[in-house]
Amino acid sequence: MSVQNVVEIEPVGPALSVVLGKLQAAYRADPAPSYEQRVDRLSRLHAGLMEFKDKIIDAVDQDFDGRAHAETMLAEILPILEGIRYYRKNLRKLMGQSKRHLPLMLMGAHAKVHYQPLGVVGIVVPWNFPVFLGLSPLVGALAAGNRAMIKTSEFAPNTADLLTEMISKHFTDEEVVVINGDVSVATEFTKLPFDHLVFTGSTPVGRIVMRAAAENLTPVTLELGGKSPVIIHDDFEIEEAAKRVVFGKGLNAGQICVSPDYVMVPRGKVDAFVAAFVKAFSHRYPTLAANKDYTSIITERQRDRLVENIEDAKAKGATVTAINPSNDSFEGTRKLPMHLVTDVTEDMRVMQEEIFGPILPVIPYDTLDDAIAYVNDRDRPLALYYFDWDKARGEKILNETHSGGVCINEVVTHVAVDDMPFGGVGPSGMGHYHGKEGFLNFSKAKGVVRKGKLDGNQCVGAPWDNKMFKLLVNFQLRRFRKP
Ligand code: NAD
């Protein structure tokens, strides 16, 4: 296949609309791709990933200046392959038209929902999982029969180049195109009249993107960020909870949209949690600076932001525990040790902004209702984690809080369940991908009524004082006497 779908950044405007025009024309020429065509596209994505996976892992490592290879395999490559497998297995059923019931007045006709591709889907990707967050929405878009344009993150340029190479090799520029570039390109990209736009990134930029999409009335899926809380119940063993939180918070050094942002522990257990967390973290990451398992911060700017937030918390009276088990020096690296922050106050930046790095405030609470109220007083988060063996209290949390997703006695891994929708709520996002909901997100569910040879309207239509119509209305009113 040619490399025609390697698109250079300049000139920005016309080039992007020309690229989209080509995808739209190709879609119009073949608007109803069969099951086999969709599976073929998914299979080519699978083949591309298998071919490029080692190079992708190296590229992400380079972009981060140190990203654990295992994390790229675990959190980027494998979940995409899993997603492809899910749709290959379930696509026929998902594509099937679903029969629906008709109201009595339409007796004799048939009703069904026809799931139709939307056309061309735009996908905007952040830097933190630069492969998964581009290709996982792509999997759903392709399964639903769409074509796609992907805008990679400017902060993961090596990965972006490799994705471009991989997609150009396995897809034509009438199927999928990768666009690379900075914010100016992203701005132009999000103004394009896509049939659907998936944006993964920060909440402030999400607002800008939604405004741009509104000009075209382009429907959006916004996968945003936020502060995902952890609540640990008094009955749950604090050491066990700390170990489980360490697993998720350590991944990508906290640079995950669903990373635990702060932990709420019963008052009186703050010190015990801090001690248990330090022990569990030091066990998993005995060294940091030269440890390939511990990921660096993506850019100097992001690292500075995190350091400033730690300094801000200290200046405002917080107690900060830096976990640096072998007293490493971080000179010449972009790594940042994990920091636990206690004695926090609401005016600290760590309590106002999404943390998105290796900092974890620990906040005491008195009653479970207090903890729930604390969460509900703030923006609805992307994820919520609750530690408790009691199922009834788990249900209470599900019923009384809002969040994009929930893990009970666990953190982060709900993202990896393909058979479940993934997405935020309110300020943490809207719309879903993955699973059946992802297929629906990228499809138009078109309601269709098919009339047979017998046309009841001939008997009941105007003039409306006809006998049949009156009979039918009276019969209906008798049916509806009770709700
Ligand atoms: P970001 O919002 O700065 O950028 C994301 C993408 O938007 C990039 O491709 C960028 O080029 C583009 N962009 C930037 N400014 C733009 C503009 N004005 N108009 C149009 N596009 C623009 O986010 P980031 O720093 O790359 O990623 C971190 C954020 O993403 C965090 O808030 C995190 O929580 C969130 N995130 C969410 C999910 C999720 O699934 N909900 C997943 C990963 C990251």
User: Which CATH number belongs to the domain containing residue 291 in this structure?
Assistant: 3.40.309.10
Q: Are residues 294 and 193 in the same domain?
A: no
Q: In the Cβ-directed half-sphere of 96, how many Cα atoms lie within 13 Å?
A: 9
* 157 contacts 67 by C-beta, under 8 angstroms: no
Q: Are residues 127 and 54 in the same domain?
A: yes
Active site residue 223: yes
Q: Are residues 88 and 142 in the same domain?
A: yes
Residue 396 domain flag: yes
DSSP letter at 339? E
Task: Please tell me the distance from the alpha carbon of residue 386 to that of residue 232, in angstroms, as a whole number.
Answer: 6
Q: Among positive and negative, which fits the CA dihedral 320, 324, 328, 331?
A: negative
Q: What is the pTM of this model?
A: 0.94
Determine the distance separating the centroid of ligand 1 and the alpha carbon of 229, expressed in angstroms.
21
Q: Among 371, 389, 423, which residue terminates a domain? A: 423
List the residue whose alpha carbon is closest to atom 20 of ligand 1: 187
Residue 89 domain flag: yes
Q: Are residues 81 and 100 in the same domain?
A: yes
Task: Please tell me the distance from the alpha carbon of residue 286 to that of residue 327, in angstroms, as a whole number.
Answer: 10
List the residue whose alpha carbon is closest to atom 19 of ligand 1: 187
Q: Are residues 25 and 165 in the same domain?
A: yes
Which residues lie below 8 Å from residue 174, measured CB to CB, with a gap of 6+? Answer: 22, 23, 25, 26, 147
Task: Please tell me the distance from the alpha carbon of residue 13 to that of residue 191, in angstroms, as a whole number.
Answer: 10
Determine the distance separating the centroid of ligand 1 and the alpha carbon of 198, expressed in angstroms.
11
Task: Please tell me the distance from the alpha carbon of residue 91 to that of residue 152, in angstroms, as a whole number.
Answer: 27
Determine the distance separating the centroid of ligand 1 and the alpha carbon of 349, expressed in angstroms.
20
Q: Are residues 197 and 295 in the same domain?
A: no
DSSP letter at 106? G
Task: Please tell me the distance from the alpha carbon of residue 83 to that of residue 473, in angstroms, as a whole number.
Answer: 50
| Three-state secondary structure call for residue 448 | strand
Q: Which residues of the chain have pLDDT under 50?
A: 1-4, 6-14
- Give how far Cα 345 sits from Cα of 57, 342, 364, 378, 406, Å: 40, 9, 11, 14, 26
Determine the distance separating the centroid of ligand 1 and the alpha carbon of 203, expressed in angstroms.
8
Our answer on whether the CB atom of 131 is closer than 6 Å to any ligand 1 atom is no
Q: Which of 71, 76, 175, 223 is catalytic?
A: 223
Residue 480 domain flag: no
Task: Please tell me the distance from the alpha carbon of residue 440 to that of residue 434, in angstroms, as a whole number.
Answer: 10
Range of the domain at 134: 6-224+433-444
Q: Are residues 212 and 239 in the same domain?
A: no
Find the farthest-apart pair of alpha carbons in the chain and give their distance in angstroms, rounded.
92
Task: Return the best residue to mutate from 200, 207, 208, 227 for the ligand 1 pocket (most ligand atoms within 8 A of CB).
Answer: 200
Count of structural domains, the chain: 2
Task: Tell which residue, 362, 250, 316, 299, has the closest CA to residue 65.
Answer: 299
Integer Rg of the chain from CA: 26
* CATH number of the structural domain spanning residue 107: 3.40.605.10
Q: Among positive and negative, which fits the CA dihedral 423, 255, 227, 188?
A: negative
Nearest atom, ligand 1, residue 153 CA: 9
Residue 364 domain flag: yes
Residue 246 domain flag: yes
Residue 275 domain flag: yes
Task: Please tell me the distance from the alpha carbon of residue 219 to that of residue 224, in angstroms, as a whole number.
Answer: 16
Helices (H), 288-434: 300-315, 368-376, 391-400
Task: Please tell me the distance from the alpha carbon of residue 339 to that of residue 52, in angstroms, as a whole number.
Answer: 35
Residue 475 domain flag: no
Our answer on whether the CB atom of 95 is closer than 6 Å to any ligand 1 atom is no
DSSP H or E run through 350? none
Q: Are residues 107 and 217 in the same domain?
A: yes
Our answer on whether the CB atom of 430 is closer than 6 Å to any ligand 1 atom is no
Q: Are residues 330 and 398 in the same domain?
A: yes
| Three-state secondary structure call for residue 354 | coil
Q: Are residues 263 and 399 in the same domain?
A: yes
Backbone angles phi, psi at 14, to 5 degrees: -60, -40
Active site residue 257: yes
List the residue whose alpha carbon is closest to atom 21 of ligand 1: 186
DSSP letter at 77? I
For residue 329, the tally of other CB atoms under 10 A from its CB is: 8
Our answer on whether the CB atom of 354 is closer than 6 Å to any ligand 1 atom is yes
Q: Are residues 399 and 349 in the same domain?
A: yes
Q: Are residues 407 and 303 in the same domain?
A: yes
Nearest atom, ligand 1, residue 222 CA: 41
Residue 451 domain flag: no
Task: Return the best residue to mutate from 205, 384, 422 for the ligand 1 pocket (most ligand atoms within 8 A of CB).
Answer: 205
